[in-house]
Amino acid sequence: MSSIALGLIVLGVIYLLYNTWPLYRNWKRARRLGMPVIVSPVTTGSLLWLVVVYSIRHGSIPTYLHRLPYVRVMRISWSVQEKQAVHKELGKLFIRVTPTDCELFVADRVLAKQILQRRDDFQKPRQMMEMLNTFGTSLALVDGTDWQRHRKVTGRAFHEKMHQRVWIESSKYASSIVNQWSTTESVRSTRSDMTTLSLYVLFKTCLGIDAGEGIESGEILAADIAACQYHLTAFLEGISRPPTLRRGRMVWDELDKNRKALGELLREIVQARRWSSRKPQPDLLSSMIASTDDYELTPDEITGNLFLFIFAGHETTANTLIFIIHLLAIMPIWQDWAREEVDQLPQRSDVSEGLGYQDAFPSMVRLRAILYETLRLYGPVPTVVRKTNNQDQLVRFEDEDVVIPKGTNVFINTIAMHTDPEQWGSDPLAWRPDRWISQGPGSGSTEQLRSDMTKNLFSWGDGPRICPGQKFSQIEVLAVLLSLLKNHHVGVVPRPDQTLDVARSCAYKLIQNSKMGLTLHMPDAESVSLRWTHR
């Protein structure tokens, strides 16, 4: 026997000895809860886990093993691929046991709301969120009184004046983009254009920075949207990889280079506002810099929150718009359905003064349904993670008391809940926006959104830690959709060797194979050619 083979056997024996006892101990702990248990001998995120995942992806593991429960829930993006299937077999609650953890998976709406309402009992696990701590502590990483302080300071920026500004800037930029798209036969820049749009709107409305103008009338030219977008994208791509894939001098050097460049841009943005002689702006940056006796953020907390809102605010909105545009192009019947509402909305030509927001935004029912249906199936965060604090937690599940042990990771499987036939009907996997619509009482009544569905959409979270930018993102998406659909039609452009039906089918397959990075995204969106035409 070669020394290499002997060494591998020895390492395998050491691994088994080292992990068998803690795995057994966690299994006994999980069995006491009386729920289905999946035993996984491999810890998520470990080097061995990465080897197994790679083997599954590249067909090195026999196909019949793919249906084993612990293999199914070991894959990256498994909740996106399986949707409600695993919970249908095992139940709305099950536990995955590894050598290091007990992990509770939840697909029950009532229990999910309990957990999200109790922010002090079920906190965000700092270890999983640590990547967001690179530039300073932020709203996403604090609990208790610190969370209240961060939420108070950042929350006061989301007022109606800002929302009107979001409507104006989103409408203007989207109109400019669609006019440019309509001059070409084939558009493959949807992803980059929507990313630029969302970052532009965020910079303009939250930070008071114009595209191409620099931070302060040209004083700091490095801190423009293009530079921020480049370093932000590169940095996010780097940290979205599992830690075991970030090893190696070149990988770390590239990640560190983008981290430093992005950090410098964030600090320049803050310093420029502090030194500015202009009248303070009613935006997010001014809210964070302005201090009061009761609520104040440190410099590191300001840059930490700045990164958080730039990342979360543009990544999630851009990906949502990318999904919607492609879905409408693939299924033109819903594009025509949406346009029936667009043509009836109050039309104002002068968006520079905000005309249209007060009139059109409250009247959007079908466009909201399109947004909600997209988030139901392709929301940015398919799984919401919490962790019990240093005490056992008592919850109610199906009229029984359940004790969740202290230190347990809790995974709220939102996409499983969003595809549960009990709530969403017999076709929960179909993208059908009209499921959100009901007719009001009486003859000649208007359409309205179904409240029994909207209250069970978890895309912005729930409870006290619900996303503070919920209305901001809704306004941005709906303003963009209105501007895109008002005078234009979008369709998929087939390749010379394709029929239109085949091209649509291929594009839809890409959407169905969406992947998780830091958020859910459509892979290879640039491979789909779209054509925008005047109608």
159-208+281-381+464-534: CATH topology is Cytochrome p450 (1.10.630)
5-9, 295-299, 492-496, 516-520: lowest mean pLDDT where? 5-9
Check residue 445 and give its pLDDT.
Answer: 63
pLDDT at 501 over 80: yes
Asked if 411 and 104 count as a contact pair (C-beta separation under 8 A), the reply is yes
Which residues, in sequence order, are CB contacts of 190 under 8 Å at separation 6+?
Answer: 322, 325, 326, 525, 526, 528, 530
% of the chain exceeding 70 in pLDDT: 86
Residue range 74-104, pLDDT digits in tens: 877 889 999 999 999 999 999 999 888 889 9
Sheet containing strand 409-413, strands side by side:
37-39, 93-97, 102-106, 409-413, 383-388, 122-123
pLDDT in tens, 141-168: 888 889 999 999 999 889 999 999 999 9
Q: What are 104's two structure tokens?
A: 């509770």
User: Tokens 């270890």 belong to which residue?
Assistant: 127
Q: Any alpha helices (H) in 379-437, and if so which ranges?
A: 414-417, 421-424
Say which amino acid occupies 41.
Answer: P
Q: Answer whether residue 221 shows pLDDT above 60.
A: no
End-to-end CA distance of the chain: 74
The domains of the chain are located at: 3-133, 159-208+281-381+464-534
Q: If 0-12 CB within 10 Å is exposed, 13-18 middle and 19+ buried, where does residue 143 land?
A: middle
Distance of alpha carbon 182 from its chain centroid, rounded?
A: 29
Binding-site residues, in ranges, read: 467
Residues of each annotated binding site for heme: 467
Is it the case that residue 140 has pLDDT exceeding 90?
Answer: no
Contacts with 192 (C-beta within 8 Å, 6 or more apart), sequence order: 526
Spatial neighbors of 220 by CB under 8 A, at least 6 apart, are: 214, 268, 272
Average pLDDT over residues 365-376: 98
